[in-house]
Structure 1
Amino acid sequence: MTQDEDRRRCAGRASRRVARVCAAATALLITSCGTADDPKDAAASSAPAPASASASASASPNGSSAPIKPGEVRIAGEVDKPYTVTLADLRKLPRAEASVEFISAKGDQKHTYQGVLLHEVLKAAQPRFDQTKKNGQLRGVVAATGGGDYRAVFAWAELDPGFAKSQILLAVSEDGTAFEDSAGPRLVVPQDTRGGRYVSELNQLWVGTVDPVVDGAH
């Protein structure tokens, strides 16, 4: 074999290798990009479809990813059965009544409220208190959030009839006048002399324990 023939044969093999590499690269490009001409279309075609709000709520351990609608109250936190309740739901439950007096920014207040015991509403969510601890529920706390991100905190013992005589309510009416559905219930705390924890436009009740904070403190 002459040197010219050898060079031609090597060049032919090199050309075939280049052709195979180009073909493979083209196939890979088509597979990864699809037929989209616009980069935004390509990104959209490769991105997963967004889940619905209800599906997201179901996937969340606290059921808290869906937005809260006006008038709704979400019960969440360290509970086994998070759920959402409305004034219409509360009106169907057994009623309790409390006549209260307290001091507010508007002066002395005296009202009669009707509503549902807060303990009953939270108990339905099945809080996860550590039953291996003596009186494990006494480590529990409840954070109540209302309109304008207003928030007040309670110890579980304050609302548990097994430990306290007070009857904290989710009120559905004041002095015989029903609250509007879009406003939601009002928290009523008969044992308080000031109205700071009478949370209006209530929209969230979070149940948890102080253990992660206390045990993690330095």
Structure 2
Amino acid sequence: MHLRAPWAVHVIGAGLAVSVLAGCSEGTSPPEAAPTASPTTASPSAPTASVAPLAPGEVRIAGEVDKPYTLTLSDLRSRPQVSVRVEYTSAKGRQKHTYQGVLLHDVLKDAQPRFDTSRKNGQLRGIVAATGGGDYRAVFGWAELDPGFARSRVLLAVSEDGKPFEAAEGPRLVVPQDTRGGRYVSELNQLWVGTVDPLVDGTPGSARAGG
């Protein structure tokens, strides 16, 4: 019978302990807990002002203006009327009509656009987006509408060839200087006024839709 020295027992015990620990770490380690997803914080968005829905025949004038407002076909009919005879090409062929309505410039001027008067002819940076039925949209430069720069007589028309538009048809934008009818926006419901500066210079501001 051979007796092991005490130091050998300690060595053997230590070796067994190491082996057991190694075995646990290699084969019997408890499964790692599934990583918990950290709660995501929604990026703050700019507050949006509630906008009242429009009734048929109403037009909202908004954008970079001091006095946004909404008008109706009845409001337009109560203003001084202008008549224009136009000819243009549309998907239906050659069109010839007489329209009666209100000058677009006068309607927009009442909203008091916020053009930068510290710049020379600051209003020439202005743009107007007209939106109609089916989200149809056309854009104008302010100088196209301003009688101080152009001879155009762009109308918010309330009748065609003497026949008044119904509220469901809304006022129609009439652009006498255009040879095609693409900017004759029907069922007009919004006029947005702003400037090109935010787009050209990359600065925030006039890209807002509200007033």
**TM beyond 0.5:** yes
Equivalent position to 1:82, from 68, 82, 98: 68
1: CA distance, partners of 2:54 / 2:141:
24
What's the offset of the Cα at 1:182? 2.8
Residue 68 of structure 1 deviates from its aligned partner by 1.4
Q: Which has the higher helix share?
A: 1
**Match for residue 186 of structure 1?**
172
Aligned: 1:174 with 2:160: yes
Report the residue type matching 2:94 in the other structure. D
Which residue pairs with 2:109 in the alignment? Answer: 123
Higher relative contact order structure (alpha carbons within 8 Å, sequence separation ≥ 6):
2
Deviation at 1:69, TM superposition (A): 1.5
How many aligned residue pairs are there? Answer: 156
Aligned counterpart for 1:216 among listed residues 199, 202, 209: 202
What amino acid sits opposite 1:70 in the alignment?
A: P
* Deviations 1:163-203, CA, capped at 9 Å, x for gaps: 00010000000000000023210000000000000000000
Deviation at 1:106, TM superposition (A): 0.4
Paired with 2:70 and 2:135, the residues of 1 have a C-alpha distance of 18
Distance 1:141 1:68 in 2: 23
Tell me the SS of whatever aligns to 2:168: helix
> TM (normalized to structure 2)?
0.72
Match of residue 135, structure 1, among 121, 136, 140: 121
TM-score (norm 1): 0.70
2:79 is matched with which residue?
93
* Identity across the alignment (%): 78
Is 1:199 matched with 2:185?
Answer: yes
Check conservation: 1:171, 1:186, Cα contact below 8 A.
yes
Name stretches of at least 5 consecutive residues in structure 2 with no aligned partner. 1-47, 204-211
Q: Is the 8 A contact 1:88 1:181 kept in 2?
A: no
Give the alignment of 1:9-24 within 5 angstroms. Answer: none
Unmatched 5+ residue regions in structure 1? 1-58
CA RMSD of aligned residues (A): 1.3
Question: Which residue in 2 is equivalent to 1:161?
Answer: 147
